[in-house]
Amino acid sequence: MTSARHRAFIAPRLLGSLVAFAALPVYLAVRGAPKEIEVLFFAWLITPILTSYYLSRTGRLEVAHVLSALALAVAVLAVCFNTGGIASFAVIWLIVVPLEAALSASRRVVGFAVALALGCALTLVAIDMAGALPVSKVPDDLKLAFDALGIAGATLYASALAFGAESLAGMSKKLLVVEEERYRLLARSISDVISRHSRNGAIQFISPAAESLIGVPAALLLEHGLFDRVHVADRPAYLTALSEAARSGEERSVEFRLRRDIGGHHERAPAADFIWIEMRCRPIDIASRSVAGDNVEVVAVMRDVTERKAQEQAIEAARMEAERAGASKSRFLATMSHELRTPLNAIIGFSEMIVREDDMMLDAARRKEYAQLINESGLHLLSVVNGILDMSKMESGNFEIQPEPFAPREALAGCCNLMVLKARENGIDLVTRVPHDLPQITGDPRAFKQIVLNLLSNAIKFSERGGTVTAAIGIEGARLALRVTDTGVGIAPDDLRRIGDPFFQAGNTYQRRHEGTGLGLSIVKSLVGLHGGDMTVDSVIDQGTTVTVLLPLSYAPPAMTPPSNITRLTLPPRADISEHQVKKRA
């Protein structure tokens, strides 16, 4: 555009000067010897050439227009002064001075040209009124011709200026169209969505990339169409960012959830989900904020950051899981140190006493008692180690289920017979409810017995003296249902969510009344999962807990069962509970 303005300045001046110089021989042939004023006029024709040269060398369009206006005004003033003043044929050229300056596209230059033309006109009027004009030497017969020549020349020059202005306007429009198309192509090509908002969030323009991002035509997002898709909880932050950007003039960034149509807008009831959008916004014209006030528009760039948010959430979940694993490890070490140290101390202490039986003067009954305590401590250690080994095998996938037909009624009765002595010692009533027509099932009888023993052991351990533990078994549809109910201390809701995690025990203290590694229900959970069963836990604080295990009547090996059905647990089961969760015995 600057080059076009320079051409519009240079072309008419060079052309006019060349035409005048070309007509000079004809004029001299007709006129004869020129007078002083005529010589000065023809000398003035060099001025447009000099101003054009100045512009081509410096590029200062405004200064060139000022110099051109001065030269033209001085020339017109000189001709008018010698040809009749304000009544001269050349006075009409004063109109050309501001018209010529209009091509500069500068208000200052136009104002200067207008003031200059008016000043020249007032000067001629003042000189005429003062009677200081020289006597016009133009013959009356040529005066009419000079008037016509002046009007025709001014008209032609003004026409050239008009064509120049029209050319500049066309060039400006063409450049505007090219720039708009360039920016539209840019907006269509980039994956980010570009939008223009009013301060209240209404969209005036949004790029076509919004259709692929959101799944609806861009036209449906204008005005408040996009706002209606913003998640309700994120709308205040969305509007605040736009308002703050318009008010402060600084860039604002906000992340919000946006509803996206999955099936496309042509479907009758398309599915929808929410994606995370990051929007950076700033006012279009910061300098006009004080003038425009609330009408400041904001341009925003939006991009899909759903994957990044998912990664952040995954990292946060992994961090929390790592922290939980670290806490579980610490609890496990503290628990194992307690579980191993107590029986080892008993074994070492009583064995030393047996070794020193002569010094201790132990009789046979006392030696037998100490040997029995050493045996019980060793068995306890063995059970702890076996539990750890079984859990390790299950987590590594090396624990194999050996299915075979067996009678669950007899298996449950055998487990209850093993636990009845412990229940009597703790003052607990052990009740079994088994139908007589219970059919055989196919599964691992060893794993089934371990499930029952762990559930009964936990129920007896955490029931107060005088309580009841009930083991019931029956058929529900195509599955065997085993329920172990106690009247113990119950489990808190916060702990219930993590019951069944390896080495987890409800509570956070290691000074526990009851022994246990926290592996009991973890093993039960794994064994039930290996059988393709379900386990649920229902518990109320100070009222008791019910653990329900559902096992298929006929277990199929993994090769015959789809992988998705091998393990399916609905709720995490209950593990051993730390001492502070257990109600103190009376």
Let me know whether 558 and 412 are in one domain: yes
What is the identity of the amino acid at 278? E
Pair 344, 281 in one domain: no
pLDDT, tens digit, 9 for 90 and up, residues 49-73: 888 888 888 888 889 889 988 888 8
Buried b (16+ CB within 10 A) or exposed e, 39-51: eebeebbebbbeb
Three-state secondary structure readout of 296-348: CCEEEEEEECHHHHHHHHHHHHHHHHHHHHHHHHHHHHHHHHHHHHHHHHHHH
What letters, b where the CB count within 10 A reaches 16 and e where it falls short, cover 311-350? eeeeeeeeeeeeeeeeebeebbeebeeebeeebeebbeeb
Can you point out the beta strands (E) in 69-154? none
Give the pLDDT confidence of 415-437 residue by residue, as tens digits: 888 788 788 888 999 999 988 88
Instruction: State residue 315's pLDDT score.
Output: 92
Do 161 and 231 belong to one domain?
Answer: no
Report the mean per-residue pLDDT for the chain: 78
Are both 136 and 211 inside the same structural domain? no
CB atoms within 10 A of CB 583: 13
338 and 318 in one domain? yes
Residue 322 lies in a domain: yes
Domain at 377, CATH number: 1.10.287.130
Q: Is 108 inside a domain boundary? A: yes
The domain that contains 444 carries what CATH number?
3.30.565.10
Residue 349 lies in a domain: yes
Last residue of a domain, one of 182, 204, 230: 182
Q: Do 25 and 174 sit in the same domain of this protein?
A: yes
pLDDT in tens, 105-156: 788 988 999 999 899 889 888 888 887 777 665 566 556 666 777 778 778 8
Report whether pLDDT(577) > 60.
Answer: no
Mean pLDDT of 354-372: 81
Does a structural domain hold residue 525?
A: yes
Q: Is residue 586 part of a domain?
A: no
**Are 457 and 406 within one domain?**
yes
Q: Are 562 and 496 in the same domain?
A: yes
Domain of 430 in residue numbering reads as 400-581
**Structural domain total, the chain:** 4
Q: Length of the chain in residues, anyone?
A: 586
Could you tell me the pLDDT band of residue 483, with boundaries at 50, 70 and 90? very high
Tell whether 245 and 381 lie within a shared domain: no
Among the candidates 128, 153, 182, a domain finishes at 182
Integer angstrom CA distances of residue 174 from 4, 5, 184: 12, 14, 15
Percent of the chain with pLDDT over 90: 7
**Which of 182, 199, 218 is a domain's end point?**
182
Task: Mark whether 295 and 329 lie in a shared domain.
Answer: no
Q: Span 499-526, mean pLDDT?
A: 57
Between 551 and 518, residue with greater pLDDT: 551
Stretch 535-558: mean pLDDT, rounded? 85
259 and 203 belong to one structural domain: yes
In this structure, the answer to whether residues 577 and 432 fall within a common structural domain is: yes
| Share of the chain residues as helix, strand and coil, in percent rounded to the nearest 5 | 60, 15, 25
